[in-house]
Each structure stands twice: as structure tokens, then as C-alpha cells.
A and B are shown apart, each in its own frame.
Chain A
Amino acid sequence: MLSDFLNIVNTPEYNDFSTLFFGIIIEALPFVLLGVLVSILVGLYVDTKVVFKYLPKNRILSHIILSLLGVFMPVCECGNVPVLRRLLSKGFSVSHAVTFLLAAPILNPITAWSTYEAFKDIAPEVIWIRLLAAFIIANLVGLIISTFKDQESLLTPAFYEEVCAHDHSHEQSKFAQAVDIFQTEFVEVMKMMVLGAFIAASIQIFVPRDVILEIGSNPVLSIISMLVLAFVVSICANVDAFFALSYSAIFSIGSLVSFLVFGPMIDIKILTMLKTTFKMRFLIELSILIAFLSFVTGLIVNLFI
């Protein structure tokens, strides 16, 4: 029994699994903590009444404003999950919070800069197409969700209970409130992050990349291939452009755009983290919708640009 265990522990597969698994966690951890910090600041200092007073009543305009919040918060997608949860706790609708979640990892200065650095020489059009596509998809998805009459039904019962509990904030010191937000958000997000990292690292070790990349030269299949890759690798939005760039020799530009738009919005890691907040059925529908819109974006680029 012990020798069997030691045999596994001494394999390169086990070594690489542990390095990849901890690589994902260590890379994401400061972003999650930054997200929790923003969540604490929003929880303590943002007066929802004031925000709603200045937020335009027009449905389209209000979603556009939420989609541009990432400009002030250049955090990758893992960090935005705690912020999304805090926005919902503060009374923002699911459609507003999801619009923020989808747009912020891409429509922020760091991602824009890294995309520029990566693609400025070989395909500069990727930069503006990525930003524009993220803006359109995030707002479109948000507007579609805003047509749902009962948006709260998309939340898990546990989170919905939590949202209601936040409405009765008791008279605690600021520090006690900050600790309260910290412990809830951190554990809620990290427990799923651990699961997401486990799945992502396992796939990286046990599924050969050439299975995904073999169809890379076909203008349609290459987009699907890159969408699958984005979903599997769960790479941080701030640097995914450099990753995508390494595929530019064999993959169509449209497929790279699809990768850059879809990856920051939906991947294994994010889905497991969002499971703390939304019902699974909604997450599946959301993923399919975003995958479809990212696919269409890639196809338009391949055919017309």
C-alpha cells in the first residue's frame, strides 16, 4: 500500500500535477485577495442609495456603465467573483452584476496593455476587436438576463439567504464588518477555486494538447478548438494574450480572438467559483450563450477582417 503510494508520488505526472495545481492557486490567490479587499471596501463604504441615484434609469445605459467599471479595477476574473457577490449583496440586479463580471477582466487597462504588447506587431487589429467584442457580448448577455422577470431565482438558495441577511447589517465596528466579509467571501470563493484548480491541473496532465490542437488549421474548427482550450487552461485574463500569441503560427486570427474573449468570461476555474452564487442550470446556459457569441465573433473575424 505504502509502496504503491510512493510509486505514484515519484512519477513525473504526480510532480507536474502538484506544480500545476499549486501554480494555479498561487497565481490566483493575490487576485482573489484583491477582489475580497474591493468587496470589503464596497461593503463598508459604497452607499447603494447614492449609486442607484446616479445610475441611469435607462436599461442599456446602466449596463454600459457597469461594463466599464473594470477600467477602475484591473483585476483578473478570479478577483471579480467576490466583487460580483458583493454587488449582488448590495442590491444590484443579476444582469448588472453579470455584465460587470464578463466585461471587467477584458475592459481594463492591464488586459488592454498586455494584448497590445502581445499583438502589436503581428495582428494589431486583435486589440480593438477583443475590447469591442467583450463590450458587446457583456452588454448583450446582461440585457438578455435583464428581460428575466425573477432574476433572484437564478441565485442559489444559500446565496439568496446570504443576500437577504446582508440587508439587516447589524451595528458592528468597521473592523468586525471587514472580518465578517473577509471570512465569508474568502472561504466561499477559495473552496471552489481549489476544486477548479484540481480539475484544470488534472486535464493539463492527462489530456494531450494535440488532441485539441489537431483541428487548428480549419477556419471553423480552429475556433471551437481554441474555445475548448480557453475553457480548459483557465488562464488569467491579464496575460492570456501572450499565451494566445504562441498559437498565432498555426491558428486563425478569429480563433485567437475567440480564445481571448471567451477565456476571461468562462472557464473551469470561474465556473466552479460562480457555483457558490448561481444555480448550475443558469451557469450552463450562460456558458453556452457566451461560447456561441465568442464563436460568432471569431467567425466574423475569419471571414470578413
Chain B
Amino acid sequence: MFERVANLTISTVFIGAAAFLVYSGYLNLFVHPRYFLFTQAFVYTAFVFSLTGLVYTLISSKGQDYKHLLSSFNWRYYSFAILPMLLVSIFGFIHEFNPLTSATLSQRVAEVNFIQGSSDLDVFELFKRPSEDLGLQEWVFLIQSQPDLESFVGDKVILEGFIYADEAMLEDRFLLSKFVISCCTVDARPLGLEVEAEDWDRDYGLDQWVRVEGVYRYDDESEELYIDPINIEKIDIPDDPYIY
């Protein structure tokens, strides 16, 4: 009986913490929007069920010899189960979550702009749209589908993302980056376009979210496109920090 109460208490607290995260609007930091309804439905229902089950068990155990139940409780076994779940629950209630940053990108830098075939974007449709209306994923897709990179030179872009840079990149360059998510943060794949701005690190740090307005230039040496910024503006982390 005591085990049952302990299990139901930790289940209620754990699912309660998840329900709190869902209610607080953190879901988009963790999972693709297609899972929102599914997650909300199950988490809220399970919370109500677990709480009802706990109350029901407490009521039906009224009059039992608690001292005896307590003495037969396997504390060591249950602390292994309950302590980690309790810590995670408390963490879920108090922690302020933020989207993935340069720490994950640096581990996945070998995968930057791996979007071959994974997008439903239509090249011809994208070419028809004004260049400054296109987002980061659309530009990466367009650039990968066009062998003649110099044809983009002079095109105007307005893009948002966070700043990433590492030692392998040219000096005065940073990667304007975002993550694409298919399911949850585990499968996040980085996308990015290089921006060339002298001494950018004087004004902006890694992971700073910025809006960059600029035009494409072509680097003959590296045979790559980069953005020559007209204006770089610091922005807050957007409500939807990932591309889905």
C-alpha cells in the first residue's frame, strides 16, 4: 500500500511538472508542433488520472496501520526510482529553458546544411518570391539547388538567427544559424549562412540572436556565398526559435 501511494505521488508530481511545462508554453522548445495536441491531451489526462488515483488510494487506505506499512517500505529501492524523478520534476518547475545554442551546433558542425531531399520546398516557387521574403531554410535550399552561385550576388536578404563561429571559419565571419527540427531537439540539424562583418565579435557574442539585413557576395577564393551586411540588429530569442 505504501509503495502504491509513493508511486502515485511521484507520478502525479512528475506528470504535473510536465503539464506545467506544457501549460507554460515551453513545448515549442522541445518538440515539433505536430506533437503539441498529442502531448497536451496525454499529459493533462494522465495528470488528472494520477491525481484521482492518489486521492482514491489514500481514501481507501484509511484506517490502515501506517507504522507497520512504513516499516516494511523498501526505502533504498524506492529512492532509486523516486529521487531522480523528483529532482527532474523540481527542475521542470523552476528552470528557465532556452533553445539550443552553439554548444550543440559545435557538436553537429559536420552536419550544417544537410537538408538534401528533406524539404518540400519548390525551387521554382522560391525564385518567384522577393529575395528578402525568403527564410534561412529556403535560402539554404535554393543555394544548394543552384550550381551557379554567382547568380545570387546582389540579392537582398533579411534573416534572423543566432551567431555561431569557430576556428575553422575565416576571420571576420560568423554563421547566422538556426536548427531544423523533425521531431524533437534530439534530431535538431543546424542550418546557417556565413556573414562577413569586420570585428563582429566586438559588438556581438556567440549565441546572440540577430536580424541581418544585407546582400550576397561571392568569395572567389573559397567559392562560397556570404552575406555582406548593411545592418545587424540584436533581437530577443524569438517565440519560434527553430525551423520545423
Complex-state Cα separation, A194 to B10, whole angstroms: 13
Contacts A12-B207, A30-B35, A246-B111 given; does A22 touch B21 at CB 8 Å: yes
Question: In the complex, are the beta carbons of B104 and A205 less than 8 A apart?
Answer: yes
Question: In the complex, are the beta carbons of B46 and A33 less than 8 A apart?
Answer: yes
CB-CB contacts of B141-169 with A at 8 A, as 1s and 0s? 00000000000000000000000000000
Q: Which residues of A contact B117 (CB under 8 A)?
A: 121-122, 245, 248
Question: In the complex, are the beta carbons of A27 and B110 less than 8 A apart?
Answer: no
Question: In the complex, are the beta carbons of A30 and B43 less than 8 A apart?
Answer: yes
Contacts A209-B107, A249-B114, A249-B116 given; does A242 touch B99 at CB 8 Å: no
Question: In the complex, are the beta carbons of B80 and A191 less than 8 A apart?
Answer: yes
Give how many A residues have a beta carbon under 8 Å from the other chain's beta carbons. Answer: 61
Q: Which residues of B contact A175 (CB under 8 A)?
A: 56
Interface-lining segment among B81-89, B196-204, B226-234: B81-89
- CB-CB nearest in chain A for B95: A18
Say if the beta carbon of B50 comes within 8 Å of chain A.
Answer: yes
Say if the beta carbon of B218 comes within 8 Å of chain A.
Answer: no
Q: Which residues of A contact B32 (CB under 8 A)?
A: 239
- CB-CB nearest in chain B for A40: B49
Question: In the complex, are the beta carbons of A205 and B116 less than 8 A apart?
Answer: no
Instruction: Determine how close the nearest CB of chain B comes to the CB of A97; give it in whole angstroms.
Output: 23
Q: A27, A34, A178: which contacts B31 (Cβ < 8 A)?
A: A27
Contacts A236-B183, A246-B111 given; does A182 touch B49 at CB 8 Å: yes
Complex-state Cα separation, A218 to B14, whole angstroms: 45
Classify the interface of chain B: helix, strand, loop or mixed.
Answer: helix
CB-CB contacts of A167-208 with B at 8 A, as 1s and 0s? 000000001101110111011101100110000100011111
Say if the beta carbon of A213 comes within 8 Å of chain B.
Answer: yes
Complex-state Cα separation, A183 to B82, whole angstroms: 12
Q: Which residues of A contact B139 (CB under 8 A)?
A: none
Give how many B residues have a beta carbon under 8 Å from the other chain's beta carbons. Answer: 66
Q: Which residues of A contact B82 (CB under 8 A)?
A: 187, 191
CB-CB contacts of A217-256 with B at 8 A, as 1s and 0s? 0000000000000000111101110110111110000000
Q: A18, A194, A206, A209: which contacts B85 (Cβ < 8 A)?
A: A194
Question: In the complex, are the beta carbons of A30 and B42 less than 8 A apart?
Answer: yes
Contacts A19-B99, A34-B42, A242-B182 given; does A190 touch B14 at CB 8 Å: yes
Interface-lining segment among B63-71, B127-135, B185-193, B209-217: B185-193
Which one of A29, A234, A245 has the highest number of Cβ atoms from chain B below 10 Å of its Cβ? Answer: A29
Say if the beta carbon of A20 comes within 8 Å of chain B.
Answer: yes
Scan residues 26-64 of chain B and give those whose CB is less than 8 A from a CB of chain A: 27, 29-32, 35, 38-39, 41-43, 45-46, 49-50, 53, 56-57, 60
Question: In the complex, are the beta carbons of B4 and A180 less than 8 A apart?
Answer: yes
Q: A179, A187, A236, A249: which contacts B10 (Cβ < 8 A)?
A: A187
Question: In the complex, are the beta carbons of B10 and A234 less than 8 A apart?
Answer: no
Complex-state Cα separation, A239 to B27, whole angstroms: 18
Q: Which residues of A contact B114 (CB under 8 A)?
A: 246-247, 249
Q: Which residues of B contact A15 (CB under 8 A)?
A: 98, 101, 103
Q: Which residues of A contact B170 (CB under 8 A)?
A: none
Q: Which residues of A contact B116 (CB under 8 A)?
A: 122, 245-246, 248-249
Instruction: Determine how close the nearest CB of chain A comes to the CB of B241; give it in whole angstroms.
Output: 10
Say if the beta carbon of A25 comes within 8 Å of chain B.
Answer: yes
Complex-state Cα separation, A208 to B189, whole angstroms: 13
Question: In the complex, are the beta carbons of B186 and A179 less than 8 A apart?
Answer: no
Question: In the complex, are the beta carbons of A26 and B85 less than 8 A apart?
Answer: no
Instruction: Determine how close the nearest CB of chain A comes to the CB of B226; give it in whole angstroms.
Output: 22
Q: Which residues of A contact B100 (CB under 8 A)?
A: 16, 19-20
Q: Which residues of B contact A182 (CB under 8 A)?
A: 11, 49-50, 53
A-B complex: 4 closest residue pairs judged by Cβ atoms: A23-B185, A179-B53, A12-B103, A30-B42
13 further A-B pairs in the complex, CB-CB below 8 A; given A179-B57, A191-B85, A246-B118: A12-B103, A18-B95, A19-B99, A23-B185, A26-B39, A29-B18, A118-B118, A183-B8, A209-B111, A213-B110, A236-B183, A242-B187, A249-B114
B residues within 8 Å of A by Cβ?
4, 7-8, 10-11, 14-15, 18, 21-22, 27, 29-32, 35, 38-39, 41-43, 45-46, 49-50, 53, 56-57, 60, 80-82, 84-85, 88, 91-92, 95, 97-104, 106-111, 114-118, 182-187, 189, 206-207
| 29 A-B residue pairs with CB within 8 Å | A15-B103, A16-B100, A18-B95, A19-B29, A22-B30, A23-B186, A26-B30, A26-B184, A29-B43, A30-B38, A33-B45, A176-B60, A180-B4, A183-B8, A183-B53, A187-B7, A187-B81, A187-B82, A191-B80, A194-B84, A194-B85, A205-B104, A209-B107, A210-B109, A233-B187, A240-B183, A243-B189, A245-B117, A248-B117
A residues within 8 Å of B by Cβ?
11-13, 15-16, 18-20, 22-27, 29-30, 33-34, 36, 118, 121-122, 175-176, 178-180, 182-184, 186-188, 190-191, 194-195, 200, 204-210, 213-214, 233-236, 238-240, 242-243, 245-249
